[in-house]
Structure 1
């Protein structure tokens, strides 16, 4: 019984060592996420300022950021990422309109920033081993859908 368990463990370790990086779970490592985005055909630029790093990417005509959270003092070993975009419409939605939108839409956290601009964010927990590439891409598709819907809402009162 123990021999099979040990043989299985050794086989599993050998399999993991031989598995390409793309088959490993996605963690809150910005370099890994940027590589995955590029592999999937998206732009991904890692920016840095004052020791903080983030990814700038885009889809469906919008530019958004991927921000790391829960990192150590060196900015590594992060636990989650946040997809973030702020829109600057000519006619900004009211707080009441934002509250109604938030109540009617399940995914994404929305608010008005300090300038009164509408913002939408979506957090992804990648702690405890991360998530599969397929699930990360599925979350990216959710982000695209909620970002586009919120963009339509944010600009809905602007003239065409």
Structure 2
């Protein structure tokens, strides 16, 4: 009985569900790049530092990378992470990050040790996403990245020497 539970792992599900025609799958990086291009974005395939696939793109004037996860020897990946890094304009601290994370459903913000602000959006693709679903993923990501400037303005640190108005 225990063998049945062990054999029903996500890794097996990934192997049993190849990327069907017309689907977007992390197991077939070319489908991810092509889906971006179809939506009017660049989709530049490449490899990350470990040899796993990645795709470079941009939206709203910001570059981002799509990293592939759950890969076995740089193949058969099962999920994607949209990732963008921004220079901290000042004022983005843990409280601001928590504010973003409490108001945004599909993305996660974090502060890197070097002070950079990073935005992530994770998507599982086991069995594939149809073109409409993946277009929605891209649109949500573009919306999140597109709102970053307003968020930075909202949390901007006061200029050096500026005084807070009296109440």
TM norm structure 1: 0.76
The two structures, once aligned, show a CA RMSD in angstroms of: 2.0
Please state how far the C-alpha of 1:136 moved relative to its aligned partner: 0.3
| Residues 10-159 of structure 1 mapped to structure 2, 5 A cutoff | 21=21, 24-28=22-26, 29-50=28-49, 51-72=51-72, 74-127=73-126, 129-154=127-152, 156=154, 157=156
Aligned equivalents of 1:56, 1:155: Cα separation in 2: 26
Q: For residues 39 and 98 of structure 2, what CA distance do their matches in structure 1 show?
A: 34
Match of 2:14 in 1: none
Show CA shifts across 1:42-64 (max 9, x none).
Answer: 11111225423311101111111
Distance 1:30 1:44, change over 3 A: same
Q: Which has the higher helix share?
A: 1
* Structure 2: distance between partners of 1:99 and 1:40: 31
Q: CA deviation at 1:25?
A: 1.4
* CA displacement at 1:150 relative to structure 2: 2.8
- Residues paired across the two proteins, number: 136
Could you tell me how far apart the structure 1 residues matched to 2:41 and 2:145 are? 16
Q: Measured at CA, do residues 43 and 93 of structure 1 come closer, stay the same or move farther in structure 2, by a change above 3 Å?
A: same
CA distance in structure 2 between the aligned counterparts of 1:142 and 1:38, rounded to whole angstroms: 16
Instruction: Give the deviation of 1:92 after TM superposition.
Output: 4.6
- 1:60-88 deviation digits (Å, cap 9, x = unpaired): 1111110000010x211110001000100
Look up the SS of the partner of 2:54 in the other structure.
Answer: strand
TM-score by length of 2: 0.73
What runs of 5+ residues in structure 1 fail to find an aligned partner?
1-19
Tell me the equivalent position of 1:13: none
Query: Distance between the aligned counterparts of 1:147 and 1:95, measured in 2?
Result: 19
